[in-house]
Amino acid sequence: MPLEVLQQAAAEMTNWHDAQGRPSGMSVMEMSHRGKEFISIYEQAEADVRELLAVPAHFKILFMQGGGLAENAIVPLNLSRGETVDVVVTGSWSEKSYKEASKYCTPHLAATGADTHFTTLPATAQWQLSKSAQYVHICTNETIHGVEFHSLPDLQALGCDAPLVIDFSSHVLSRSVDWSKVGLAFGGAQKNIGPAGVTLVIVREDLLGHALKICPSAFNYKTVADNGSMYNTPPTYSIYMAGLTFQWLKRQKAGELCGVAAMEQQNIAKAKLLYDFLDNSSFYSNKVAHDCRSRMNVPFFLADESRNDAFLTGAKAAGLLQLKGHKSVGGMRASIYNAMPIEGVQALVTYMQAFEKSQA
């Protein structure tokens, strides 16, 4: 979370103020989701995310509950019509999507990066897309394996008319999105948006209204859209925090750039700093192919893994936290989301240099 956002939330924790500085006399947590105060928070958040991501008018923006994993069920419940869907498996998260879809429809493994232990993305020319797939699912940033799509596949150019579904949970708002290639995007909040509890879903209008009969009403995209994300009580505090993050993002500047474009520049610089250091080291390494290295999640390994515990202990003492890699991959992982300033990445590199020296 950006520090400024946490500080603002703390300052108005017990008494929210509107844009004109007028106190509401209550915490956002105490507001009715249908009251004018929360409606104004909601409408501003929705307008800001539409502006930040340049979401076209024929897409609906939904704020839902359930997180990224629930969307692995909600997407097939709404879009699959119980038929075939294509899934490209590029790491743990798309693997989970593939497995979950089989409860509601027939997922087809269109391509997988398993043969390289998810250190490469399968080339689109090799994707075996089904003729009748209802959609094609990809995870555009694999958080655990550190693999990112740096451009979205053009399904039409591959002879496929199905809509593209993207799980952009772990790099949402870190870069722009080419909506001409997307049918639906979903993302949990807890990386670049705000605290866990709200899921952002951006869906092309023509995809609404085809849910399976068994789809729970609260998870039916059309019902949610028709009710302005208020069919059930939305996660109000998470939406408020997301709104503060959107405002923070709108304030970001890099030269002439602002908002997500400025953020993207900073993310490129942060990732370059860390990857360049790793590539010039024989003490540390990153195994992901250069063309699909994630700007958000950088898994790295010590050549001598017996030093892992000492590395983590020293890192903690230096104020560098949460660096242990996911148990399925091992090693280390630096998650350098939007809110991590370049100074944080520089501090990590400085520590890594010092640790290497201390081990000589």
Q: State in angstroms the smallest separation of the CB of 295 from ligand PLP.
A: 14
DSSP-assigned beta bridge partners for residue 204: 59
Q: Which of 93, 222, 248, 270 is catalytic?
A: 93
Residue 170 binds ligand PLP (CB under 6 A): yes
How far is CA 216 from each of CA 66, 169, 209, 213, rounded to the nearest angstrom?
A: 12, 22, 13, 8
In this structure, the number of other CB atoms found within 10 A of the CB of residue 269 comes to: 13
Q: Which of 16, 48, 86, 167 is catalytic?
A: 167
Is 191 among the residues known to form the active site?
yes
Cβ proximity to ligand PLP, 24 vs 78, nearer residue: 78
Is 69 buried (19+), middle (13-18) or exposed (0-12) by CB count in 10 A?
middle
| Contacting residue, 124, 143, 229, 267, with ligand PLP by CB under 6 A | 143
Is 251 buried (19+), middle (13-18) or exposed (0-12) by CB count in 10 A?
exposed
Segment contacting ligand PLP by CB under 6 A, of 5-13, 62-70, 102-110, 205-213: 62-70
Tell me how far apart the alpha carbons of residues 29 and 258 are, in angstroms, rounded to a whole number. 31
Q: State in angstroms the smallest separation of the CB of 70 from ligand PLP.
A: 6
| Contacting residue, 61, 87, 88, 139, with ligand PLP by CB under 6 A | 139
| Residues found in the chain | 360
Residue 169 binds ligand PLP (CB under 6 A): yes
Cβ proximity to ligand PLP, 24 vs 295, nearer residue: 295
Q: State in angstroms the smallest separation of the CB of 196 from ligand PLP.
A: 6
| Contacting residue, 69, 109, 230, 349, with ligand PLP by CB under 6 A | 69
Residue 299 binds ligand PLP (CB under 6 A): no
| Contacting residue, 95, 100, 167, 264, with ligand PLP by CB under 6 A | 167
Q: Which of 191, 222, 270, 287 is catalytic?
A: 191
Residue 197 binds ligand PLP (CB under 6 A): no
| Contacting residue, 2, 122, 188, 325, with ligand PLP by CB under 6 A | 188
What residue ranges bind ligand PLP (CB under 6 A)?
67-69, 93, 139, 143, 167, 169-170, 188
| Enzyme catalytic residues | 93, 167, 191
